[in-house]
Amino acid sequence: MKISDLNDIIVTFLRTYITHPDPHHDPTDNWIYMDYPRLDATFPRISVTLTSGSGEPAGIGDVVSPTTKQGQYHPITYDIDIWVKKGNVYEITIGGVKVKKGGSALRDYLADQVIKNIFYYKGSYFRDQKNVVDATLDAMASAPYNEDAELFQKTLTFTFTILREFSE
């Protein structure tokens, strides 16, 4: 698997499983993208940014199964940022109850959705369907409110491990 494949897998997953908080949002209108958003982008938004990675031998002789193939594990770290603009306030139904969320509360709600879904689908989606060996949450951090851009931001740092075969 190539790194560009993993980028696509993560973005496609989030687009599929994270619901936009606006119940009137057009589902064909994407709000989750690779790389940090421009300040004039529409919000709320989720961005996926590859920040670092490394390579680890998958076995002696880099031999993996099937035994004729060679490869290495790549643990690749991504920042998944949740961006909410001042004024993004939506009525969200949680457990049958409608709750108004905006600002940092909406940001934290969306962050929880990302964490919950990545962990819930770690086996069935990432490993079984997409051959992503592991997904771990390394850190989470909230940025101070950006007065100029009127943005609330939270960064979730995940490491996704893939097996990259040498022929790729």
Partner 1 sequence: MTLYVYKGWNAKIYKEGVLIGYCDSASVDIATGLDPYYEIGSRTPSYLTEGNQEITGSISKAWIDINYLNLVIGTGSLTEFDLTFKAYTSGAPWIYLYDCKFESGSLDIPQDGVLTESYDFRAKSVGVKMG
Binding site for partner 1 (CB under 8 A): 57-69
DSSP 21-71: S-TT--TTS--EEESPPPTTS-SSEEEEEEEEE--EESSGGGEETTTTEEE
In the complex, least distance from residue 108 CB atom to partner 1, rounded to whole angstroms: 26
In the complex, least distance from residue 7 CB atom to partner 1, rounded to whole angstroms: 24
Which CB atom, from 12 or from 65, has the smaller least distance to partner 1?
Answer: 65
**Structural tokens at position 18:** 């994270």
In the complex, least distance from residue 135 CB atom to partner 1, rounded to whole angstroms: 13
How far apart are the C-alpha atoms of 5 and 74, rounded to whole Å?
A: 13
Which CB atom, from 139 or from 143, has the smaller least distance to partner 1?
Answer: 139
Which CB atom, from 23 or from 57, has the smaller least distance to partner 1?
Answer: 57
SS3 label, residue 152:
strand
